[in-house]
Structure 1
Amino acid sequence: MNFSTPVIYGSTLALLLCSSAMAAVSPEEAARLGTTLTPLGGEKAGNADGSIPAWTGGLPKDAGAVDSAGFLADPFANERALFTITAQNVEQYKGRLSPGQIGMFKRYPDYTMNVYPTHRSVNVPPAIVEAARKNALNTRLVAGGNGLENFTKAYPFPIPKDGLEVIWNHITRYRGDSMKRQMVQIVPDVRGVGTPVTYDHQYVLRESLADYDPAKPSNVLFYNKQTVIAPARLAGNVELVHETLDQVKEPRQAWIYNAGQRRVRRAPQVAYDGPAASTDGQRVVDNYDMFNGAPDRYDWQLVGKQELYIPYNSYKLDSPTLKYADITKAGHIDQGLARYELHRVWHVVATLKPGQRHVYAKRDFYIDEDSWQAAVIDHYDGRNTLWRVAEAHQQSYYNHQVPFYTAETLNDMISGRYLVLGLKNEEKRNYQFDVKALEGEFTPNALRQSGVR
């Protein structure tokens, strides 16, 4: 398959071309969810040659054992790679790789991709399936596409009509009603050595708060709080975000507590291409979670759907037997720990609007059809030069029916450095889902207490 002419599957193309960008789908279209489409809108059938199987319900909740720290057993641990892509044979596979992925082989002669059998492991709770169905019928874009109305929980557009709707599916995708985790970010030097920055991270949907009041007007979609645990020089610093549904009408609200100064301050720079803390300049704010925040600075073109080798079912990379030094190597993570599979993705091109500013003039998004998670994003500078390549190593937390990431990587093709975010191999506490939280825990007044050294 030629990368420059991605394949459109089924009747999706006709749907994309004939539907209004501002309207919800018809009951007849929505009836495809759970029949010809998965409950979240992916193509239920496999591909023509069977290398992508049909979706049959995803991994069950008892797909593997869970250890005392919450680490999941790898359901596919006994599988062997089908083949390995290397710098020597990459031309053979370039039709199923993004330009950025191909660039990694050119930049690093030792770079490899081990490709395994494809497993469509994504599964979500029944309440999220129902939310996606209701959203398909009722959710609409407002404010020029920069906000949502009649939206519930996750996946506003399971049958998308344009690139902006696809991006909204990523932004609002299901990550659990609430979640707590300890995670690590590392920016290795040219030798592959870096100091882990450990965060205590908490996320909660507003409507999942223990004291949620549906009668209380609010534009908040979710609350996000990160407290630095280590190293000691950064410990106690806290970042709090109120993520809004319409960030143009009501911009994201963010605060930072500096433990050294014992001071809380507003942080308007925590948005768009503001510098991300503790990253040595290796990412900007909206690189977090592959992409986050308001989409208003870009035009979003839906190119179509295609087959791509993407990181998937990354349980090996998440193993608690690994040390962070086993993962971070010179130039990139140890690719022998990464697992790639062939999946269908939505290809969306984001081009900076005239008169807007951002360090990335163009971004190519490749978004997994089953989870709506961004799997690969290629970033270009103002000269249209490939600058950074992001990959998200997908993992389904099958015991809670939550698709999420094992880790995100962001490789700088110019400097040769990279960042890896989300690792937890050496942490004592894994993900905790459905954690009850109160709205008062996510106020500026609560920051000082949560950030005490």
Structure 2
Amino acid sequence: MTSLTRLASSVALCCALTAPAYAAVSEQEAAQLGSTLTPIGAEKSGNAAGTIPEWQGGLPQNASNIQNGFRDNPFANEKPLFIIDAKNYTQYQDKLSPGQVALFKRYPDTYKMPVYTTHRSAGVPDEVAQAIRKNAVTTTLVEGGNGIDGFKTAIPFPIPQNGLEVIWNHIARYRGKTSLRQTSQAVPQANGAYVQVDADERFALADQVTDYDPKSENNLLYFYNSRINAPARLAGNVLLVHETLNQVKEPRLAWLYNSGQRRVRRAPQVSYDGPGTASDGMRTADGLEHFNGSPDRYEWKLVGKREMYIPYNSYLIASPKFKIKDLIKPGHLNPELTRYELHRVWEVVATLKPGERHIYAKRHMFIDEDTWAISLADHYDNRDALWRVGESHLQYFYDAQVSYATPEVLYDLIAGRYIASGMINESSKPYDFTFKASKKDFLPATLRTMGIR
């Protein structure tokens, strides 16, 4: 063997050992799904201490009553096991995120975390579980990990091998086939004063839309639109998104209709660190759900799994018994209405690639193993200082077997402000998962009609 050949062989071996695994798992590995792992890839067993129970299928679809679109709290009779606050948080710090610790320090007199008994309530429909099982052996990362191939429905990598696969599971997690919802958003000042923004939102997986063509539109993941109803100065503004699977090959398609100008415009700024809709500069476009869109600007490191106290089974804070003003308090949400449980999470750190631009140089994320939703997210600025702290107060809609944040919150530690979105307390139709989606619902030409006030 020549020295040049030996050098080439060494380089090839080194690359094989250090490069991310872009291949699907074997049939033998996938056989763990439904046995030692849940159908979506979580550990089926509980923990050794008994504080995290075994997963037994999630809540039944008839777990409680549904009244006017609101799901009753199946755990309404439970009381907190204990409350974490600024005086005792150091006792629990190994199960807290840096962001949660920072909130105790920022608001020592008011920020608290009531911790309840853990319930592994989430599940998915059987047909979704079957699609996930197929994804395990067919889905691969392409375009350097910035897109996926061989994927269907939800959760491309139930047995992830690296950080990119974990974040793709969040991006493509199960949100239901379609949904129609009315939600509210608020960006309170430091003193708690806010203007409420109300919106109608529609969502549909691409293959659930009438006239969807899987041959010509095979790079589409889902369709989404949002129409603002209040306040008056924003009413009639509409956002439309066609979310692509590979946003490097084909960037996200987005349009905005401005009711004042009565014009539909392409909106390339609805990506990365462009401004979030009606967020008063408190959230980036890719900050909704704590991360969305293309992962191409970051290196994604999988740290591992750990047990943490995260918001969970958040039925109380989403109850119609309370008004938005009952939730929104100076500095943070009303801690009397929050609920935290001990769960296992995937820990991933996203670091901005050299030469790339974003207001967040690092994002530290904690992803719930039973839903693949980001539960906690710490955002760092370009000085590596902790800047913003995100929480998803997940509610499991047991009848539809879908989890959503009600609400999702992003706290700004420097400004002393936050944005809370996805609040449904005052909605007349909080979530409808029977929405029949037509392609005409998601065409740019439809935005003018939607925007009529």
Q: Same fold (TM over 0.5)?
A: yes
- For residues 182-220 of structure 1, give each alpha carbon's deviation from its aligned partner in whole angstroms, at most 9, with x where no partner exists: 001100112212111011100101101133333434311
List gaps (5 residues or longer) in structure 1: 1-16
Moved over 2 A (4+): 17-20, 210-218
- Asked if 1 retains the 8 angstrom alpha-carbon contact of 2:25 and 2:137, the reply is yes
Deviation (angstroms), 1:357:
0.4
Q: State which structure, 1 or 2, has the greater radius of gyration over its C-alpha atoms.
A: 2
Where does residue 13 of structure 1 map in the other structure? Answer: none
Where does residue 331 of structure 1 map in the other structure? Answer: 331
Instruction: Name the CA distance, whole Å, in 2 between partners of 1:255 and 1:19.
Output: 37
Paired AA for residue 104 in structure 1: L
Instruction: Name the CA distance, whole Å, in 1 between partners of 2:405 and 2:32.
Output: 28
The DSSP-based 3-state class of the residue aligned with 1:391 is: strand
RMSD, matched Cα: 1.2
Where does residue 287 of structure 2 map in the other structure? Answer: 287
Paired AA for residue 74 in structure 1: N
Instruction: Name the CA distance, whole Å, in 2 between partners of 1:161 and 1:28.
Output: 15
Relative to the length of structure 1, the TM-score reads 0.95
List gaps (5 residues or longer) in structure 2: 1-16
Instruction: Name the CA distance, whole Å, in 1 between partners of 2:145 and 2:446.
Output: 33
Where does residue 241 of structure 1 map in the other structure? Answer: 241
Where does residue 135 of structure 2 map in the other structure? Answer: 135
Deviation (angstroms), 1:50:
0.4
Where does residue 388 of structure 2 map in the other structure? Answer: 388
- For residues 264-306 of structure 1, give each alpha carbon's deviation from its aligned partner in whole angstroms, at most 9, with x where no partner exists: 0111100000011321111111111221000000000000000
Instruction: Name the CA distance, whole Å, in 2 between partners of 1:216 and 1:297.
Output: 27
Deviation (angstroms), 1:19:
10
The DSSP-based 3-state class of the residue aligned with 1:445 is: helix
Instruction: Name the CA distance, whole Å, in 1 between partners of 2:280 and 2:306.
Output: 35
Where does residue 367 of structure 1 map in the other structure? Answer: 367
Where does residue 106 of structure 1 map in the other structure? Answer: 105
Instruction: Name the CA distance, whole Å, in 1 between partners of 2:19 and 2:364.
Output: 23
Instruction: Name the CA distance, whole Å, in 2 between partners of 1:91 and 1:266.
Output: 49
Paired AA for residue 229 in structure 2: I
The DSSP-based 3-state class of the residue aligned with 2:179 is: strand
Paired AA for residue 119 in structure 1: H
- Asked if 2 retains the 8 angstrom alpha-carbon contact of 1:81 and 1:116, the reply is yes
Deviation (angstroms), 1:439:
1.3
1:420 aligns with 2:403: no
- Asked if 2 retains the 8 angstrom alpha-carbon contact of 1:306 and 1:345, the reply is yes
Instruction: Name the CA distance, whole Å, in 2 between partners of 1:427 and 1:434.
Output: 17
The DSSP-based 3-state class of the residue aligned with 1:105 is: helix
The DSSP-based 3-state class of the residue aligned with 2:330 is: coil
Paired AA for residue 98 in structure 1: S
User: Structure 1 residues 99, 273: closer, same or farther in 2, change over 3 A?
Assistant: same
Instruction: Name the CA distance, whole Å, in 1 between partners of 2:127 and 2:368.
Output: 21
- For residues 46-72 of structure 1, give each alpha carbon's deviation from its aligned partner in whole angstroms, at most 9, with x where no partner exists: 0010000000000000000000x2101
Instruction: Name the CA distance, whole Å, in 1 between partners of 2:424 and 2:403.
Output: 16
Where does residue 222 of structure 1 map in the other structure? Answer: 222
Where does residue 35 of structure 2 map in the other structure? Answer: 35
Instruction: Name the CA distance, whole Å, in 1 between partners of 2:43 and 2:18.
Output: 19
Identity of aligned residues (%): 56
Where does residue 4 of structure 1 map in the other structure? Answer: none
- Asked if 1 retains the 8 angstrom alpha-carbon contact of 2:202 and 2:224, the reply is yes
1:271 aligns with 2:262: no
Where does residue 64 of structure 1 map in the other structure? Answer: 64
Where does residue 201 of structure 1 map in the other structure? Answer: 201
Where does residue 54 of structure 1 map in the other structure? Answer: 54
Larger mean CA deviation between 433-442 and 392-401 belongs to 433-442
The DSSP-based 3-state class of the residue aligned with 1:182 is: strand
Paired AA for residue 184 in structure 1: S
- Asked if 1 retains the 8 angstrom alpha-carbon contact of 2:190 and 2:415, the reply is no
Relative to the length of structure 2, the TM-score reads 0.95
Instruction: Name the CA distance, whole Å, in 1 between partners of 2:18 and 2:194.
Output: 51
The DSSP-based 3-state class of the residue aligned with 1:303 is: strand
- Asked if 2 retains the 8 angstrom alpha-carbon contact of 1:124 and 1:403, the reply is no
Instruction: Name the CA distance, whole Å, in 1 between partners of 2:312 and 2:415.
Output: 27
Where does residue 75 of structure 1 map in the other structure? Answer: 74
Deviation (angstroms), 1:443:
1.4
The DSSP-based 3-state class of the residue aligned with 1:101 is: helix
- For residues 425-447 of structure 1, give each alpha carbon's deviation from its aligned partner in whole angstroms, at most 9, with x where no partner exists: 01111101131111122111111
Equivalenced residue count is 436
The DSSP-based 3-state class of the residue aligned with 2:290 is: coil
